[in-house]
Amino acid sequence: MIDEALKARFDKEISENPIVIYMKGNLLFPQCGFSARAVQLLQPFGKIYSVDVMKEPAVRDGIKLYSNWPTIPQVYIKGKFVGGSDIVADLAERGELEALVKG
């Protein structure tokens, strides 16, 4: 079960920021190729709010329960879970990321 306080925190971060990524490392220094790729693809579409899960083990575990998604990075756009780096890459390839951000 996910901790209530943690869930409230995720709800808040995701509702207040149009583009949110839970990643390994930060925007300037991603610590995993998948996180780096997702950041790179999202960057053209506006300000990214990022959370470094390496600094917060509780977040690293909690976000996986929150979304029922077992891997990092996790991307949320306009309050909705979008997926990991593969899905972001597929959406970018199809030119659908912009519509999501503007939608």
Partner 1 sequence: MLDPQVLKARLEQALAGATVEIRDTTGTGDHFEARVVSPTFVGLSMVQQHQQVYAPLQDVLATGELHALALKTYTPEQWSKVKR
User: Which residues, numbered 25-54, are part of the site for partner 1 (CB under 8 A)?
Assistant: 34
- 16, 86, 93, 98: which one contacts partner 1 (CB under 8 A)? 86
- 4, 28, 29, 68: which one contacts partner 1 (CB under 8 A)? 68
Structural contact between residues 53 and 60, judged by C-beta atoms closer than 8 angstroms: yes
71 binds partner 1 (CB under 8 A): yes
Q: Which stretch binds partner 1 (CB under 8 A): 3-11, 13-21, 46-54, 68-76?
A: 68-76
Residue of 1, 10, 92, 98 whose CA lies nearest to 51: 10
Neighbour tally for 50: CB within 10 Å: 22
Residue of 40, 103, 45 whose CA lies nearest to 73: 40
Q: Which is nearer to partner 1, 17 or 67 (CB)?
A: 67
At position 65, the amino acid (one-letter code) is L
Q: What is the DSSP letter of 43?
A: G
Q: Which is nearer to partner 1, 47 or 96 (CB)?
A: 96
Interface residues with partner 1 (CB under 8 A)? Answer: 34, 68-71, 81-87, 90
